[in-house]
Amino acid sequence: MNPTSVIRIKSISALLVAMSGSLLTTGCASTGSPIVGSGPVTYGDAKAVESVTNEFGSTDLQTMAEAMTRSLIQSAVIARGNRPLITIAEVKNKTSEYIDTRSITDSIRAQMLKSGSVRFAVDTHAMQNQTDELIRQNQTGLYKKGTAKKIGGMEGADYRIEGNIASIVKLGSSVKDVYYKFSLMLVNVETGVIEWADEKDIRKTSSR
Amino acid sequence: MNLVNAMKRVAALLGILALPANPAWADSIASKVEELGKMKYLNVSSLKTVNRNGLLNIQAEITNDSASNQQLFYRFKWFDGNGFEVGGEEPWKPLTIYGKQRQNITTVAPMPQATDFRLVLQSPDNETTSPSSW
């Protein structure tokens, strides 16, 4: 018997063992999954390309946020490496549909912070909580003197992010075409100079 | 200098990244690309990387061999120096590549710690040898 035929016999026997093993396991009950209930619910991939309808969707939000973040971290004022303080102003929704633009800017802010290249100051929406906390610590008399954070120590942002999202919708006899354009810019708060701007556009077409 | 350029060109033709300065980058395209199955009509014809301002920049050229438009879904995975995935999961991105078109995918690492990457590609026409066939 030559060595190759020995190997062949070994692999065939291994195959038979594997096949008998699979036959045995199909005979047994499958293991229980950690699931409660048997409703028609499945958990899918949150990062999958969503093509359910033509309206603004999760893929549009995710790709816009990602594209803007990647562009922003390469901008000259951020790439300099001195971790500037940024705040988020409003992103106007100029489309014909409801879009939570704050959700896009929240994603951008989270990804920017993860990159470690910037710091963020509380924006106008979080300001109420910020002032409430400071006032409670300083004016209720409940806190130890040394631990109450002083009023007047907040840092002003160097730059602000603002922009808008616009759309063009065209309806043909058999087709609906939606074009989204997300524009964002980084403005120097002191000088008013626009230090960076970029656009991300998305086209979605569906037959109807 | 000309010899180095000529070597780089030969390396690029052989499908090797044209950045042999860092040994970590002296890898083939295949080692940086993860195809879910085997793409029937599309292929990664070139892959370039460069470090700008501490961030890894990538340009991948996708070539469509067929005459018809092809759909591609792609995303990048980022790894730090220890091989751990960083930056979180990227969303899948759809891309249409016209018949016979060469399309570039460019991206930049989400953070300076991301020093290695994989380009994950899926095309609806991907082929695979299913286990039931043997």
A64 and A148 fall within a common domain: no
Tally of domains in chain A: 2
With an 8 Å Cβ cutoff, are B91 and A59 in contact?
A: yes
**Is some CB atom of chain B closer than 8 A to the CB atom of A164?**
no
Contact predicate B119/B60, CB 8 Å? yes
| A115 and A76 in a common domain | yes
Architecture per CATH, domain B2-127, reads as Sandwich (2.60)
The residue segments making up the domain with residue A138 are 125-153
Higher local confidence (pLDDT), B41 or B127: B41
Tens of pLDDT along A34-82?
Answer: 989 888 999 999 999 999 999 999 999 999 999 999 999 999 999 988 9
At A86 the pLDDT is 97
A68/A79 same-domain check: yes
Least confident of A6-20, A92-106, B117-131: A6-20
Strands of the A175-188 sheet, one edge to the other: A119-120, A85-93, A159-171, A175-188, A194-207
**Is residue A161 located within the same domain as residue A103?**
yes
Tell whether the model's pLDDT for residue B133 goes beyond 50.
Answer: no
Query: Of A48, A49, A70, which has the smallest distance from its Cβ to B108's Cβ?
Result: A70
Do A69 and A145 fall within a single domain?
no
Q: How far is A48 from chain B (nearest CA, A)?
A: 6
Contact yes or no for A47 and B75 at CB 8 A: yes
Provide the pLDDT for residue B4: 55
The residue-averaged pLDDT of A7-32 equals 57
Model confidence at B15: pLDDT above 60: no
* ipTM score for this prediction: 0.78
Give the pLDDT score at B109: 95
Asked if residues A114 and B88 have their Cβ atoms less than 8 Å apart, the reply is yes
Residue B17: is its pLDDT beyond 50?
A: no
Q: pLDDT at residue A25 above 80?
A: no
Instruction: Tell me the pLDDT of chain B averaged across its residues.
Output: 83
Is the same domain home to A71 and A97? yes
Nearest by Cα to A151 from A143, A163, A160, A159: A143
Q: In this predicted structure, what is the pLDDT of residue A189?
A: 96
Return the pLDDT at A44: 93
A66 and B89 within 8 Å at the Cβ level: the answer is no
Higher pLDDT, B18 or B64: B64
Residue B13: per-residue pLDDT = 47
Cα-based angle A181, A182, A184 (whole degrees, multiple of 5): 140
Predicted local confidence at residue A32, as pLDDT = 87
**What is the predicted pLDDT for the residue at B134?**
42
**In this structure, which amino acid lies at residue A201?**
D
Q: Would the CB atoms of B54 and A62 count as touching at under 8 Å?
A: no
Query: Is residue A103 included in any domain, yes or no?
Result: yes
Tens digit of pLDDT for each residue in A132-167?
Answer: 999 999 999 999 989 999 999 999 999 999 999 999
Residue A23 pLDDT > 80? no
On chain A, the residues whose CB falls within 8 A of the CB of B85 are none
Model confidence band, residue A1 (pLDDT cutoffs 50, 70, 90): very low
pLDDT over threshold 80, residue B19: no
What one-letter code names the amino acid at B89? E
Q: Are residues A191 and A203 in the same domain?
A: yes
Q: What percentage of chain A has pLDDT greater than the value 70?
A: 87
Q: A27 lies in a domain?
A: no
- Asked whether residue A163 falls in the same domain as residue A141, the answer is no
The CATH number that applies at residue A84 is 3.40.50.10610
Within this chain, do residues A138 and A87 fall inside the same structural domain, yes or no?
no
Q: Is residue A9 part of a domain?
A: no
Work out the minimum CA distance from B109 to partner chain A, whole angstroms. 7
Q: What pLDDT, on the 0 to 100 scale, is given for residue A127?
A: 94
* DSSP notation for A112-148: HHHHTS-EE---TTTHHHHHHHHHHHHHSS-S-TTTS
- Has residue A25 been placed in a domain? no
Best of B92, B98, B105, B113 to disrupt the A interface (most A CBs within 10 Å) is B92
Q: Do A91 and A134 belong to one domain?
A: no
Q: In chain B, where are the structural domains located? A: 2-127
Q: How confident is the model over B31-56, as pLDDT tens digits? A: 999 999 888 899 999 999 999 989 99
Determine contact: A107 vs chain B, CB below 8 A: no
Model pLDDT, residue B21: 44
Contacts of B50 in chain A (CB under 8 A): none
